[in-house]
A and B are shown apart, each in its own frame.
Chain A
């Protein structure tokens, strides 16, 4: 192996092969996957995110939520994602085609969020959970995000957005109110938009034990 050009050729081929195989072939195979239009309702699935939810996705990105929360459901029988209530069917590639950036995630320090919008949690719950997870989920390791909220003096009418029913440690002093910032509202809108329940042809649930 004393011939420089030959060495270089091999080095080139090695990475060219994997680039072709993993990157290029997949890009060709499903890089232009499109939404499906439902015959009955005429709606395209997956649905486009609202503008506020898109803003929220940027907050999700900026805060690094992806390092503790995945957004992918494994098929029933592989793991226990269905039993945890994270989704009844496995996630498929088409679920993600309307998302600018894909946050599949590789870690579940916290629960999967692929279908968090389908859980019976309202905006108030999400806001309190973001303010301090201990309010809604004692024992959680999720960090509090106090900087997504502002305590401000009540001038005139109290804001309808002010958080109510907070535990004493978080209740603002009299004459003040705790209000979510637009970023907090956008993040909650994003979280509540996360539901992927439409059954694409390729997403039919695999029977438990059928293919493991």
Chain B
């Protein structure tokens, strides 16, 4: 409900804001419309493309002859195209949209000089497209999370710098004394990403460090893409939307501070746990393990803060699409982070380190947490940007249930597969001669035993694909259909029984 409308229908439940305040918010929303649309539309297109790459890669892993004739379709290539489409195409574009919109709203500043953001957004997407094209034609660097070939990365960096500076400028001209917790996270994310990205590019691609120093830089970067870029945006968005939808303040300001700074100082040391058992200095690995365990502090603190804010509002999950996606994302943030800390414990890491368990974990974080939070944010933002309601509650419902079920099957199935794989790979027994011997001596047996779980991954991918199609159809329909003047009631899963029609939001 974003038109400068003063009717009761425009007032949100729980948090009655002053009419002038609402008019200002509407004007701010309107000022962000163009650039945010640009990022959202491109994000949705990349999401669809990345989904196709994902399905092909997933099927190939249990059915190797599938599409085996072309080089650009081989597993190592298409899987890499999937990852980069999702990270830099879908997730980062969606993150830009949410960041710009939230930062403008929370700073109470209209977005200015939109031309720069349009250019930066177009350049960013051109850079990603060039990068994916490069990967498909065989120019991948094969450095995990940094596969985009070096002729495209400077483009990405310049575009990012422009977009990031815009967010910071918006923050600089903020109107209110109070800086909301979401703004801390967004500001940090906008500053952190260019630092880690440029440092990693220089030390890995342009002036490569020698030997396994590369691996340390690689995992410092790759883990921090999640920890210092996606996580702050995701957690920041949850901090905004849960109180917003429920119309109540955050449970505790002090927990917010504790959660933010402990995340800021612990998360970025944790990446070395990807090298446990590897040929890098033992002290660095130990530091990574310690930091990973310390991550329990921000995760539990943030989890408690979000949970206590939700408390008493759980019934709203039945109605609000935004809240439902946010809740799913928030719960999975806690789960995936605690699991991540556990995976850094050496005795557990010994089993799961080189297995599909890690792949499941990555999707748990980037999909079940971050992507679901982005979906929730988009469901809230779009009506305020287009001044239209979502055309179909059914499609939102399909979107939620298919993606939620899909990613749950994905994570559970592949995690079990990873445990089986990891256990079979290292399990030993004392032979008759007292010597250690492998319980599963044939490596091929380990490979074969993972197949059912790889098949379950393809099935979950199909469920997720259905959800994405429902989302894209609803999104495109909303963008393209003419504005219905009369339809001002928000699209909810169900009509709340106790709430008069004019108070729904």
User: Could you list which residues of chain A lie within 8 angstroms of chain B, going by C-beta atoms?
Assistant: 1-2, 4, 7-8, 10-12, 14-15, 17-19, 21-23, 26-27, 29-33, 60-68, 70, 72, 74-75, 78-80, 83-84, 90-97, 99-111, 133, 137-147, 208
Contact across chains for A100 and B208 when beta carbons are under 8 A apart:
yes
Contact pick for B279, options A93, A138, A139, CB 8 Å = A93
Contact across chains for A208 and B64 when beta carbons are under 8 A apart:
no
Min Cβ gap B325→A in Å is 28
Contact across chains for A208 and B436 when beta carbons are under 8 A apart:
yes
Contact across chains for B76 and A64 when beta carbons are under 8 A apart:
yes
Min Cβ gap A17→B in Å is 7
Q: Which residue from chain A places its CB closest to the CB of B291 in the assembled complex? A: A18
Min Cβ gap B169→A in Å is 12
In the complex with contacts A108-B425, A143-B60, A23-B358 CB distance below 8 A: no
Contact across chains for A31 and B210 when beta carbons are under 8 A apart:
yes
- B-chain residues with CB within 8 Å of residue A91 when the two chains form the complex: 278-279
Contact across chains for A64 and B75 when beta carbons are under 8 A apart:
yes
Contact across chains for B212 and A27 when beta carbons are under 8 A apart:
no
B138 at the interface (CB under 8 A from A): yes
Contact across chains for B76 and A65 when beta carbons are under 8 A apart:
yes
| Pairs across A and B, CB under 8 Å, 8 listed | A26-B280, A33-B211, A64-B80, A75-B277, A102-B211, A133-B64, A146-B68, A147-B69
Q: Which residue from chain B places its CB closest to the CB of A104 in the assembled complex? A: B215
Interface hits, B31-65 → A, CB 8 Å: 60-62, 64-65
Contact across chains for A74 and B64 when beta carbons are under 8 A apart:
no
B472 at the interface (CB under 8 A from A): no
Contact across chains for B210 and A33 when beta carbons are under 8 A apart:
yes
Interface residues on B, range: 35 or more
Contact across chains for A67 and B75 when beta carbons are under 8 A apart:
yes
- A-chain residues with CB within 8 Å of residue B210 when the two chains form the complex: 31-33, 97
- B-chain residues with CB within 8 Å of residue A21 when the two chains form the complex: 269, 287
Q: Which residue from chain A places its CB closest to the CB of B143 in the assembled complex? A: A101
Min Cβ gap A98→B in Å is 9
Q: What is the interface of chain A mostly: helix, strand, loop, or mixed?
A: loop
Contact across chains for A101 and B350 when beta carbons are under 8 A apart:
no
Most chain-A CB neighbours within 10 Å: which of B196, B209, B210, B346? B210
B220 at the interface (CB under 8 A from A): yes
Contact across chains for B438 and A83 when beta carbons are under 8 A apart:
yes
Contact across chains for A101 and B187 when beta carbons are under 8 A apart:
no
Q: Which residue from chain A places its CB closest to the CB of B256 in the assembled complex? A: A1
> 10 closest pairs, A vs B, by CB?
A64-B76, A108-B354, A18-B268, A14-B264, A74-B277, A96-B211, A61-B142, A62-B138, A80-B426, A91-B279
Contact pick for B261, options A10, A94, A142, CB 8 Å = A10
Contact across chains for B350 and A78 when beta carbons are under 8 A apart:
yes
Contact across chains for B257 and A1 when beta carbons are under 8 A apart:
yes
Question: 1/0 per position for B406-447, CB-CB distance to A under 8 A?
Answer: 000000000000000000011110000000111000011001
- Total A-B pairs, Cβ < 8 A: 229
In the complex with contacts A102-B214, A104-B215, A10-B70 CB distance below 8 A: no
Contact across chains for B172 and A29 when beta carbons are under 8 A apart:
no
Contact across chains for B425 and A30 when beta carbons are under 8 A apart:
no
CA distance A138 to B442 in the complex (A): 12
Contact across chains for B220 and A18 when beta carbons are under 8 A apart:
yes
- A-chain residues with CB within 8 Å of residue B140 when the two chains form the complex: 61-62, 64
Contact across chains for A146 and B69 when beta carbons are under 8 A apart:
yes
Q: Which residue from chain B places its CB closest to the CB of A2 in the assembled complex? A: B179
Contact pick for A147, options B70, B142, B269, B275, CB 8 Å = B70
Min Cβ gap A25→B in Å is 8
B17 at the interface (CB under 8 A from A): no
Min Cβ gap A84→B in Å is 7
Contact across chains for A79 and B215 when beta carbons are under 8 A apart:
no
- B-chain residues with CB within 8 Å of residue A79 when the two chains form the complex: 277, 350, 353, 425-426
Question: 1/0 per position for B165-176, CB-CB distance to A under 8 A?
Answer: 000000110000
In the complex with contacts A63-B74, A101-B214, A80-B425 CB distance below 8 A: yes
Contact across chains for B178 and A67 when beta carbons are under 8 A apart:
no
B12 at the interface (CB under 8 A from A): no
- A-chain residues with CB within 8 Å of residue B427 when the two chains form the complex: 80
Question: 1/0 per position for B264-284, CB-CB distance to A under 8 A?
Answer: 110011011011011111001
- B-chain residues with CB within 8 Å of residue A61 when the two chains form the complex: 140-142
B195 at the interface (CB under 8 A from A): yes
In the complex with contacts A11-B192, A101-B214, A143-B75 CB distance below 8 A: yes
Q: Which residue from chain B places its CB closest to the CB of A90 in the assembled complex? A: B279
B157 at the interface (CB under 8 A from A): no
Q: Which residue from chain A places its CB closest to the CB of B139 in the assembled complex? A: A62
Contact across chains for A139 and B191 when beta carbons are under 8 A apart:
no
- A-chain residues with CB within 8 Å of residue B261 when the two chains form the complex: 10, 14
- B-chain residues with CB within 8 Å of residue A99 when the two chains form the complex: 211
B116 at the interface (CB under 8 A from A): no
CA distance A142 to B60 in the complex (A): 9
CA distance A98 to B350 in the complex (A): 28
B217 at the interface (CB under 8 A from A): yes
Interface hits, B330-355 → A, CB 8 Å: 346, 350, 353-355
Q: Which residue from chain A places its CB closest to the CB of B141 in the assembled complex? A: A61
Q: Which residue from chain A places its CB closest to the CB of B147 in the assembled complex? A: A64
CA distance A80 to B287 in the complex (A): 24
CA distance A100 to B144 in the complex (A): 16
- A-chain residues with CB within 8 Å of residue B450 when the two chains form the complex: 109, 141
CA distance A12 to B488 in the complex (A): 44
B289 at the interface (CB under 8 A from A): no
Contact pick for A140, options B64, B209, B211, B212, CB 8 Å = B64
Contact across chains for B184 and A22 when beta carbons are under 8 A apart:
no
B216 at the interface (CB under 8 A from A): yes
Q: Which residue from chain A places its CB closest to the CB of B439 in the assembled complex? A: A80
CA distance A196 to B28 in the complex (A): 62
In the complex with contacts A22-B220, A93-B280, A104-B215, A7-B179 CB distance below 8 A: yes
- B-chain residues with CB within 8 Å of residue A101 when the two chains form the complex: 141-143, 208, 214
Contact across chains for A27 and B213 when beta carbons are under 8 A apart:
yes
CA distance A133 to B64 in the complex (A): 9
- A-chain residues with CB within 8 Å of residue B353 when the two chains form the complex: 79, 106
Contact pick for B179, options A1, A26, A67, A107, CB 8 Å = A1
B161 at the interface (CB under 8 A from A): no
